[in-house]
Amino acid sequence: MAENIKKIECALISVFYKDGIDEIAAELTKNGTRLLSTGGTYDYLVQKGFKVEKVEDLTTYPSILGGRVKTLHPKVFGGILSRRDNAGDREQMVQYELPYIDLVIVDLYPFEEYVAKGASHQDIIEKIDIGGISLIRAAAKNYKDVVIVPCKECYSKLVECLKAHNGGTTEEERYSFAKHAFATSSNYDTHIFSYLNSDGEIPAFSQSILGSRSLRYGENPHQNATYFGSEDSLPRQLHGKEISYNNMLDIEAAIELISDFDSTAVAVIKHNNACGCAVRGTVLEAWKDALAGDPVSAFGGIIVTNGTIDKEVAEEINKIFFEVIIAPEYTPEALEILECKKNRIILERGNVQPSKMKFRSMLGGALMQERDTVAETPADLTVVTEKAPQESQIADLLFANRLVKHSKSNAIVLAKNGMLLASGIGQTSRVDALKQAIEKAHSFNFDLNGAVMASDAFFPFPDCVEIAHNAGITAVIHPGGSIRDAESVDYCNANGVAMVTTGKRHFKH
């Protein structure tokens, strides 16, 4: 692309956010640029001592309809859209006495902010920008001759350009600004549509996220990866190396899991599954029992808790190698201990919550679904056997059910006394998942007598409850719903095993 430097002779400035506009106005004024402005921006610039002309004086029309119409006029849009190398355009510019406008600085009403803060529908509708979005599109379309600055994030870039070219810009720079402009307008319109179409009447996959972060690599080192989203959507990183794609997946899995616990809990995540988890009276106790669940898999894992990490906890955690730790808070003494490993990623969760919706690319399209937010309570359990579970067993059943919900299907979880003993995950057969869990529990010398079993889906045959019973399991939780449920219930009744159903399957793929 040719350099094609064009000096800015006339600029239109009309912005909602005025911080930083002074420096731009000063640079433009220094280079003799004529300034046009509207409303609050005009008042602001005049108060700052700049020579500015009102757009109303150019158009001879005041701002009307409560400010809804200010810049929508041929004298404004003609000056922006005129092609400087087109003879016919130049003739009409003279004929209709239209000024050439070489720079447009405009941002948009804060529509997303009004939606986020729960404003009234009418207030939200009033924050749908019309003039601003039209100016952005017009200037961006004519990037060969016009510079468009569509948001405050582009202010510093414009100042750099003006200083580098004595009040001018290159075509390459104008093209870059135009891309920013259409990204801004596209994002804005997408959020408006999403708000108006919250009932899903119009079937459309419409998502727009402007912020991004390059990740160290993708699922494997030879794959590139990018996170799209606001930094506010992520836990605050206090220490450590750059976060990778796999770290991101584990961080999400960890936050989704810990969000299902009200009691003090610690979990260790490996490849999106919990390999250790416990609920206890203190974070230290929960950590020790979570680690005991599988000290081998915990190596290089992700630690997450809903309690404060203090010095004592940090000293214990620091005894093993782990990639990431997530907690709502750390004491200064704890941070000093944990930061001894320069690459260790330490995250402060803050107010970060799991996403409400899940998206996944699918061949030439995309899949979208609601996140599984069901977390069963005692009221959701239906006792289907003659023997009802005891109160302590109910607590273990619900604990195990929360874990199996966050485990890759087919999944089985074995638990006792608020501690994960073992799980079988990602198996093509539910029987294989159970056998895997039992073998793993025995490998760490756990006594399964009196333990409970949770399954993410129903049992199509009674083989699983028979295998579990023979291993020492005394209570079972599953969704139910198989046409052969009665066979599993009959086996439990014949062998003194308590069984409850939830009516909710928790597949995870």
Predicted pLDDT of residue 89: 85
Alpha-carbon torsion (326, 328, 333, 334), positive or negative:
negative
* 271 in active site: yes
Q: Which helix (H) or strand (E) holds 112?
A: helix 111-116
Starting at the edge strand found earlier in the chain, the sheet holding 419-424 runs: 236-239, 345-348, 322-327, 301-305, 265-270, 273-279, 419-424, 412-416, 452-455, 475-478, 498-501, 382-383
Identify the burial level of 401 via C-beta atoms within 10 angstroms of its C-beta, where 0-12 means exposed, 13-18 middle and 19 or more buried: buried
At residue 378, the pLDDT reads 96
Task: Select from 100, 82, 109, 84 the least CA-distant residue to 11.
Answer: 100
Give burial (CB, 10 Å; 0-12/13-18/19+) of 472. middle
Which residues are CB-contacts of 101 (< 8 A; sequence separation ≥ 6)? 10, 11, 12, 36, 76, 79, 80, 146
pLDDT number for residue 1: 54
Mean pLDDT of the chain: 93
* Rounded (10°) CA dihedral 210, 211, 213, 218: -40
Check residue 311 and give its pLDDT: 97
Strands (DSSP E) found in 349-505: 357-362, 365-370, 382-383, 412-416, 419-424, 452-455, 475-478, 498-501
Residues in the chain with pLDDT < 50?
none
Q: Which of 271, 288, 387, 435 is catalytic?
A: 271
Q: Which of 7, 75, 141, 144 is catalytic?
A: 141
Angle between helices 485-495 and 463-471 (to 10 degrees): 30
Q: What is the pLDDT of residue 33?
A: 93
Please spell the DSSP secondary structure of 237-271, one letter per residue.
Answer: EEESSPPPHHHHHHHHHHHHHHTT--S-EEEEEET
| Whole-structure pTM value | 0.84
- Picking from 50, 98, 104, 95, the residue whose alpha carbon sits closest to that of residue 73 is 98
Count how many Cα atoms sit within 13 Å of the Cα of residue 291 in the half-sphere of its side chain: 17
Q: Is 7 a catalytic residue?
A: no
The tokens describing 75, both together, are 């004298």
